[in-house]
């Protein structure tokens, strides 16, 4: 009874900040001094070293040493995960809990390398079918999913992190039910706020294609939905993306046990803005008020769903 009372007190006193033992499940490090970017990358970002990531973490947390970070391999490095691995080693040496999500060429990655990455905290592979803005070839996507599953299914706790447009969940639903690994749906599963929907869907954003299929997969404990990147799915920056409220509240009400949160730091730009740009020019990051977004999410979701998203659900996903 005392422990339950203390937990309830903790939930109310932390309010919108990251509570003790929270997870930030989507962050990147960009630091070419640790390793060069890939020659064929789509853009060159500003520097975002681990030091600045930890500064952000401290600014949002009551106890930074108890906040678990999940480093996601960023696209400018393509399949060279050496910078991410360096940061995982550094965090481990500092006594900080951290995990990683890799991007790999599985045709040239040996099982021994996967096992080494697992030992350092890597717990999955990211498949990105959204960033280049091209149409999604569903047959190809499903083939890549199945190939990836065969390579990682022996690794305990590994997931596939999938970044796809929201409508694709309707076409992926049945195939995903057959996979023996869990899926993380990146950035609200690609669901959009009214500001990015066609006029006939703006009054009912939860009726957009893919939404019910995403909920179905989450209710079957197949998919975790990551609440992150609100600025990627809404243009309402002045109101802290309030057109996403119906979507977030529906997720909190229907699948509170399958939500996780990520800051998406350091907030890279949008791919379609890079057309014709020079690869040598460093692209600035978006200016995002992370604290205000946390306030919004807490207000929309309420104490219990917010706590589950920050602590319980990612703990079950990454620690078990």
CB 161 within 8 A of CB 124: yes
Q: Would you say 12 and 101 are in contact if contact means Cβ atoms under 8 Å apart?
A: no
Percent of the chain with pLDDT over 70: 90
Q: Which residues of 123-152 are buried (b: 16+ CB within 10 A; e: fewer)?
A: bbbbbebbeeeeeeeeeebbebbeebbebb
232-264 pLDDT per residue, tens: 999 999 999 999 999 999 999 999 999 999 999
Query: What domains can you pick out in the chain, each with its CATH number?
Result: 23-319 (3.20.20.140)
pTM: 0.93
**pLDDT confidence of residue 188:** 98
pLDDT for residue 68? 95
What gap in Å lies between CA 184 and CA 276, rounded to an integer?
32
CA count, 13 A, side-chain hemisphere, 155: 25
The pLDDT of residue 126? 98
Looking at every residue in the chain, the average pLDDT score rounds to: 91
Q: If you average pLDDT over residues 119-142, what whole number do you get?
A: 86
Which residue would you say has higher pLDDT here, 15 or 125?
Answer: 125
Read off the pLDDT band of 271 (50, 70, 90): low
Return the pLDDT at 15.
Answer: 56
Q: Residue 176: which of 189, 188, 193, 187 has the closest Cα? A: 189
On the CB side of 20, how many CA atoms lie within 13 Å of its CA?
8
Cα–Cα distance, 307 to 11 (Å, whole number): 7
First to last CA, the chain: 25
**Tens of pLDDT, residues 178-221:** 999 999 999 999 999 999 999 999 999 999 999 999 999 999 99
């Amino acid at each position: 009874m005392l422990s339950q009372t203390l937990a309830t007190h903790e939930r109310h006193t932390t309010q919108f900040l990251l509570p003790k033992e929270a997870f930030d499940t989507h962050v990147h490090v960009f630091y070419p001094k640790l390793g060069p970017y890939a020659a064929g990358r789509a853009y060159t970002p500003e520097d975002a070293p681990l030091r600045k990531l930890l500064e952000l973490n401290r600014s949002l947390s009551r106890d930074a040493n108890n906040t678990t970070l999940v480093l996601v391999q960023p696209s400018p490095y393509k399949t060279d995960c050496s910078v991410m691995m360096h940061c995982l080693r550094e965090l481990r040496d500092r006594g900080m809990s951290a995990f990683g999500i890799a991007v790999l060429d599985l045709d040239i990655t040996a099982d021994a390398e996967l096992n080494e990455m697992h030992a350092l905290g890597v717990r999955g592979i990211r498949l990105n079918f959204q960033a280049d803005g091209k149409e999604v070839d569903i047959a190809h996507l499903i083939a890549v999913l199945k190939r990836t599953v065969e390579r990682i299914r022996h690794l305990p706790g590994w997931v596939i992190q999938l970044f796809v447009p929201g409508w694709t969940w309707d076409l992926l639903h049945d195939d995903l039910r057959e996979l023996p690994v869990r899926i993380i749906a990146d950035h609200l599963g690609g669901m959009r706020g009214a500001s990015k929907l066609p006029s006939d869907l703006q009054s009912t954003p939860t009726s957009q294609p893919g939404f019910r299929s995403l909920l179905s997969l989450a209710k079957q404990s197949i998919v975790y939905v990551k609440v992150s990147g609100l600025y990627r799915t809404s243009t309402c920056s002045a109101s802290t993306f309030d057109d996403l409220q119906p979507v977030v509240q529906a997720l909190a009400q229907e699948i509170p046990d399958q939500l996780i949160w990520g800051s998406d730091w350091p907030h890279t730009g949008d791919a379609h803005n890079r057309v014709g740009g020079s690869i040598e020019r460093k692209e600035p990051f978006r200016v995002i008020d992370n604290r205000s977004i946390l306030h919004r999410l807490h207000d929309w979701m309420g104490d219990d769903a917010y706590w589950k998203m920050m602590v319980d659900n990612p703990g079950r996903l990454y620690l078990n």
